[in-house]
């Protein structure tokens, strides 16, 4: 891995597509996404980082979905389907909350629209469209067939977990799977159609972003969900008992976010089994992610060195223990198969010298979160004057409060230190923090869109360890002209755009 794999000195914004404005209950890959790319260009931003794009799962979290390889059906824009005549314009009329995703209403409504579109696609029976879907499905066969069959069976047996399906299906007996494929052929075709549309729309958006010199930064969770196509299709790659249930689960020990740690509940990998076949599963996963994104942020990089193993019957993460991960062997296999990797290593939390050493040997930049920088003294590694260039600075991540929310709740020490370090008053915190990140030597600088909009803590995306998150949306009338102008000027002044001369307004 070489540092040159990552783009040099850029800035960008973290915003998940579900947060975009739009008429159909949640943001998607439709007109709102293209408008946001246009805004990024005006604001001098050349990176758009999303959260994981896969189907949402428990608590509607994008970090716990039914597949680490599929796209989220809720992100499929409906306007292009209506334009193809697959769905009627009248069926798109809806009355949803414009500023929150009401998942319990929006998800079934959007899925019904996708089924209507699939029926229209079948009824039209256009040879060119049928061939395009067939060709795409063949190119994605390594994961798509298992995903479609899992979703069809999941719909049939819901709300049962896959371990509670008829034994022959849960254990993937070939005769039972063949029978299911025959009996559910139309349902399998529907799920393939949805993924085809997701991929088609996402790649069109990616191509458009590239015309605006915007690169897409993806987010890859290290672990997947137990009730997922991934675990059902390859149970041999996980630590499961004879009934398919996890014996141990993932999480992190007590930390800044929680005194009892975080019990994520994901099944843990059998790293020895993965290594025995040359990490083929991981090679396929990273290859798929590189089709979708220009740069990959890998969540919980620490877990590749050692990970927190929690007995499955423990209610919290307190009584866990550290276990060795695959280390450099995994990334050697990935590099041999895929070449140098444009990866950001999320190295927050309890980080050991071994984690730092692996990241540095691989050449991956680590992360620094500016909100954490003022809890100590001038030696704190998250303060800008202590950065090295091979770093990605975030004013805050999706797990953090907004900057205004952080400021309202920070300690007196943090407030005083930040005021002296940044030279600010109470009303200036958002832009002062954005400017400090941009002016640092860190190669990449990213901020939450909420902080460009100067929003308070009621607009945060996620509060770790709580339910009812991930639903935040914004309205375009919140986006004032001075926000793009100011961000563009700061970005140009910090050398993070292609312009060599700062264009000041008259």
Q: pLDDT tens, 246-276?
A: 999 999 888 776 789 889 899 999 999 999 9
pTM above 0.85, yes or no: yes
> Which are the catalytic amino acids?
299, 346, 399
Three-state DSSP state, 100: strand
Quick check: 500 pLDDT over 50? Answer: no
The structural domains of the chain, ordered by start, are 3-75+199-493 (3.20.20.80)
pLDDT at 427: 72
The answer to whether 393 and 441 are in contact (CB under 8 A) is no
Q: What is the mean pLDDT of residues 63-88?
A: 96
* Interval 338-342 mean pLDDT: 96
Does residue 503 carry a pLDDT above 80? no
How far is 430 from 427, CA to CA, in rounded Å?
Answer: 8
Query: Measuring CA to CA, which residue among 22, 52, 51 is closest to residue 36?
Result: 22
- Say which residues have a Cβ less than 8 Å from residue 288's Cβ, sequence separation at least 6: 69, 143
- Tokens 């249930």 belong to residue: 245
pLDDT band, very low/low/confident/very high, at 350 (cuts 50, 70, 90): confident
pLDDT of residue 398: 96
Please give the Cα distance from 298 to 219 (Å, whole number): 6
Distance CA 390, CA 35 (A): 31
* C-alpha span between 393 and 18 (Å, rounded): 24
pLDDT category of residue 5 using cuts at 50, 70 and 90: low
- Per cent of the chain over pLDDT 70 is 97
270-315 confidence digits (pLDDT tens):
999 999 999 999 999 999 999 999 999 999 999 999 999 999 999 9
Q: At what angle do helices 141-157 and 127-139 cross, to 10 degrees?
A: 100
368: left (phi over 0), alpha (psi -120 to 50) or beta: beta
Q: Hey, CA dihedral for 475, 370, 401, 468, is it positive or negative?
A: positive
pLDDT of the residue at 314: 96
Does residue 98 have a cis bond before it (omega within 30 degrees)?
no
pLDDT of 501 above 70: no
CA nearest to 303, candidates 362, 251, 263: 251
User: Pairing between strand 215-220 and 295-298?
Assistant: parallel
């Amino acid at each position: 891995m070489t540092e040159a794999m990552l783009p040099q000195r850029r800035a960008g914004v973290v915003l998940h597509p579900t947060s975009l404005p739009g008429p159909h209950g949640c943001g998607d890959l439709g007109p709102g996404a293209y408008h946001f790319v246009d805004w990024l260009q005006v604001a001098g931003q050349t990176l758009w980082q999303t959260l994981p794009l896969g189907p949402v799962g428990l608590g509607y979290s994008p970090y716990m979905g039914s597949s680490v390889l599929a796209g989220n059906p809720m992100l499929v824009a409906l306007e292009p389907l209506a334009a193809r005549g697959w769905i009627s314009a009248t069926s798109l009329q809806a009355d949803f909350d414009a500023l929150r995703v009401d998942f319990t209403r929006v998800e079934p409504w959007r899925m019904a629209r996708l089924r209507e579109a699939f029926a229209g696609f079948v009824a039209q029976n256009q040879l060119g469209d049928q061939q395009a879907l067939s060709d795409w499905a063949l190119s994605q066969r390594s994961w798509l067939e298992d995903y479609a069959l899992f979703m069809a069976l999941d719909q049939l047996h819901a709300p049962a977990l896959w371990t509670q399906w008829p034994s022959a299906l849960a254990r993937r007996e070939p005769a039972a799977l063949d029978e299911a494929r025959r009996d559910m052929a139309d349902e399998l075709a529907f799920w393939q159609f949805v993924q085809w549309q997701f991929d088609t729309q996402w790649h069109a958006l990616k191509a458009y972003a590239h015309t605006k010199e915007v690169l897409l930064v993806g987010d890859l969770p290290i672990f997947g969900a137990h009730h997922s196509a991934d675990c059902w299709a390859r149970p041999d790659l996980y630590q499961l008992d004879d009934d398919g249930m996890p014996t141990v689960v993932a999480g992190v020990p007590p930390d800044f976010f929680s005194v009892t740690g975080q019990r994520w509940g994901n099944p843990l990998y059998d790293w020895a089994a993965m290594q025995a076949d040359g990490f083929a599963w991981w090679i396929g996963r990273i290859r798929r992610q590189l089709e979708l994104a220009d740069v990959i942020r890998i969540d919980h990089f620490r877990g590749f060195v050692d990970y927190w193993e929690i007995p499955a019957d423990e209610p919290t993460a307190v009584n866990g223990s550290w276990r060795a991960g695959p280390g450099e062997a995994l990334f050697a296999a990935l590099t041999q198969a895929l070449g140098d990797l444009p990866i950001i290593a999320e190295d927050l939390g309890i980080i050991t010298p071994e984690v730092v050493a692996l990241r540095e040997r691989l050449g991956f930049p680590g992360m620094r979160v500016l909100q954490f920088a003022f809890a100590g003294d001038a030696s704190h590694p998250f303060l800008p004057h202590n950065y090295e260039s091979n770093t990605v600075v975030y004013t805050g991540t999706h797990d953090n409060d907004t900057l205004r929310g952080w400021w309202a709740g920070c300690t007196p020490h943090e407030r005083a230190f930040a005021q002296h370090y940044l030279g600010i008053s109470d009303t200036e915190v958002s832009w002062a923090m954005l400017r400090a990140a941009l002016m640092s030597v860190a190669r990449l600088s990213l901020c939450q869109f909420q902080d460009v909009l100067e929003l308070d803590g009621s607009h945060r995306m996620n509060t770790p360890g709580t339910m009812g998150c991930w639903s935040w949306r914004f309205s375009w009338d919140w986006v004032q002209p001075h926000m793009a102008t100011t961000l563009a000027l700061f970005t140009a002044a910090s050398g993070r755009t292609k312009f060599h001369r700062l264009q000041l307004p008259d």
